[in-house]
Structure 1
């Protein structure tokens, strides 16, 4: 559950630090990560079909967003290496993307493990 709070904090930080004039895909992915983290915090114990469906859909979208973050980190690193220019902004973005993507994937693994145990 603490990981959900961390993901909410990282999502807010990503939104404030890096989304200046960004596209709708990134904002949508970020909102779905927030929805997944909030649903994980709530941990509704009953098996309502609508709740579980929304939770699974947001989990899938969060996985896709984590893959996007990892690809973005790779692309920024490759571009910086190609131009031999490592600015503080590109290093911060790469590190933030890797940490945020990793915490999303860890939360997804925990979610899948709990779902299989129920």
Structure 2
């Protein structure tokens, strides 16, 4: 099992498998969205699976090592290579005092 990978406000956590959900084959996947267009993107020459679980969590299933790039001209995070495997995508979010709290239990995913 691999170590978690941090890329700016994005963290990829290795998991054994992705839950059931909407599955799409892609060659690029924005894993960290930026209002200014400075996205964090997984980019590959071959297709990989992007899975969105019923609760909205995003997973990627990479068949081969895949580039993680920051689309920014300056002060960007270095390009990384994400090893093959299944990864849960976590995004750092800002605290919003006006947001409501969801008190329903969420599905937990076991990581090694």
Q: Normalising by the residue count of structure 1, what TM-score does the alignment of the two structures yield?
A: 0.24
Would you tell me which structure has more helix in proportion to its own residues? 1
TM-score (norm 2): 0.25
Which of structures 1 and 2 has the bigger CA Rg? Answer: 1
